[in-house]
Amino acid sequence: MKLRLLGIVTAASIAWLISTPRQTLAAIKTSVVDYKQGDTVLEGYLAYDDANSAPRPGVLIMHEWDGAGPYVQSRARQLAELGYVAFACDIYGKGVRPTTPQECGTDAGIYRNDRALTRARVEAGLDQLKTNKLVDPKRIAAIGYCFGGMCALELARSGADIAGVVVFHGSLDTPTPADAKNIKCPVLALQGGDDPHVNQDAVKAWEKEMKDADVNWQLVQYGGAVHGYTNPKNGSDTSRGVAYNAEADKRSWAAMKDFFGEIF
């Protein structure tokens, strides 16, 4: 009886260990990281699970037009819980965190109009992520939200040696569509089907860009979702063309996880 009981208890413990979701056991470490592109100081945010020291895939996260703040930091923690080393990089520079739409538009405009600078800033983030000893440098993906989608795509168009790109309600346009021929990795765009800011003409142009360059591309459109659909702070009023959509948020996150399962 005692023998059997011990067996059951041990088995139950093992079963519990196996069935308990990873995140409840995880110890997510986060830190603010200063790094540089040229002479510009940038301030990123690192998140990873330090429960073990095994090399793992890295995910570079690019922020929306309001800069590197709480939103991408929360995504970094979520990605760390999934087992990745996540780094929310900074395109604008330390302390540059616009708040009004006008300020955001001004800052984003600098990078929209200077893609070489954009690429340099993104590459600095990628290099910073690669310095982390937990990261397997052969398994790094880049993801971006809105403005950050543009940045992630520019990284791919620069010919960066990365494993994949995912953009969420991303700005898809580029002044140099021919650069798509440099893209070496699969690309997944997760767009709002009713996004008036990245509209169907922009989607069409992007599809053409991808097709002309024979990129491994996928496009998902979520009906009812508008721009910024993954960010809860955008609220529920779709009339401005920017709003949170919990269902599309969940669906797009699942699509990203499937994609990572494939590329990593």
Q: Which is nearer to a second copy, 60 or 189 (CB)?
A: 189
Count H helices and E strands in the chain, helices first.
8, 8
Shortest separation between residue 38's beta carbon and a second copy, angstroms: 35
Shortest separation between residue 20's beta carbon and a second copy, angstroms: 12
Alpha-carbon distance 134 to 168, whole Å?
Answer: 26
Q: Which is nearer to a second copy, 173 or 207 (CB)?
A: 207
Q: Which is nearer to a second copy, 114 or 214 (CB)?
A: 214
190: left (phi over 0), alpha (psi -120 to 50) or beta: beta
| 23 class by beta-carbon count within 10 Å (0-12 exposed, 13-18 middle, 19+ buried) | middle
Which residues of this protein are in contact with a second copy, per CB under 8 A?
3, 6-15, 18-19, 193-194, 200, 204, 207, 210-211, 214-224, 247, 250-251, 254-255, 258, 261-262
Shortest separation between residue 15's beta carbon and a second copy, angstroms: 5
Q: Which is nearer to a second copy, 234 or 238 (CB)?
A: 238
Spacing of C-alpha 245 from chain mean position: 18
| 161 class by beta-carbon count within 10 Å (0-12 exposed, 13-18 middle, 19+ buried) | exposed
Shortest separation between residue 163's beta carbon and a second copy, angstroms: 15
